């Protein structure tokens, strides 16, 4: 398949066959608990985050409760996620700002989200897509790697990759597609490499590699 558009159509169709329904891998009950879980997921597996958050949310599942819990207690509850000092500070300061400036509610705009401590564009994109249903295309290292491997982008960073993928896929597909890509990358086309034995997409797109 010589064109990016043709490759994108094949990939989108194959992912829809494999993952017709998807759920956010991070366990949560609302926009706030999702935001906390996404902050915790930096350089940490979703599985580990899902082991940690029940105890944390049992004590603090709202910004107000998180502020009362305090940064040190947050740190102790999340320490197995790694980077606990930075993450506990981000969660505490983010929660304080939500209480002080947003009435304890997670804002539903990119601009407001990206002003929160610990929240960058990718995290804001996840919240906009999965909590508020706004078309967004969060690009993490898994998606960036697959997009490069499948020659959907020549971007050297996630910013360019996000822009390229948005051009190739319609907005109504973005929110579901980014989860489908993550699931596929973990199951079939891992960071360690791809020989085409498990990954049908690589085998179909680039048979000379296999």
User: 122 catalytic, yes or no?
Assistant: yes
Give me the helix-helix angle, 121-130 and 31-40, nearest 10°.
150
Long-range CB pairs of 27-31 (<8 Å, 24+ gap) are 27/53, 27/54, 28/53, 29/57, 29/61, 30/131, 31/105, 31/106, 31/127, 31/131, 31/132
CA 73 to chain centre: 26
Residue count (the chain) = 210
Residue among 4, 87, 122, 176 flagged as catalytic: 122
User: 61 catalytic, yes or no?
Assistant: no
Residue among 46, 61, 108, 140 flagged as catalytic: 140
Active site residue ranges: 122, 140
């Amino acid at each position: 398949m010589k064109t990016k558009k043709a490759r994108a159509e094949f990939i989108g169709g194959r992912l829809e066959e494999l993952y017709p329904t998807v759920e956010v891998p991070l366990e949560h009950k609302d926009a706030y608990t999702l935001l906390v879980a996404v902050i915790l997921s930096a350089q940490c597996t979703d599985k580990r985050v899902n082991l940690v958050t029940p105890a944390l949310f049992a004590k603090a599942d709202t910004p107000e409760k998180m502020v009362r819990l305090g940064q040190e207690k947050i740190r102790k509850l999340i320490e197995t996620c790694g980077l606990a000092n930075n993450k506990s500070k981000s969660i505490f300061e983010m929660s304080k700002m939500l209480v002080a400036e947003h009435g304890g509610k997670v804002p539903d705009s990119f601009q407001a989200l990206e002003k929160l401590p610990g929240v960058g564009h990718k995290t804001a994109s996840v919240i906009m897509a999965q909590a508020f249903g706004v078309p967004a295309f969060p690009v993490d290292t898994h998606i960036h790697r697959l997009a490069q491997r499948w020659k959907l982008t020549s971007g050297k960073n996630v910013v360019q990759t996000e822009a390229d993928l948005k051009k190739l896929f319609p907005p109504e597909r973005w929110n579901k597609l980014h989860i489908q890509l993550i699931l596929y990358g973990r199951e079939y086309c891992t960071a360690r490499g791809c020989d085409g034995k498990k990954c049908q997409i690589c085998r179909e797109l680039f048979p000379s590699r296999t």
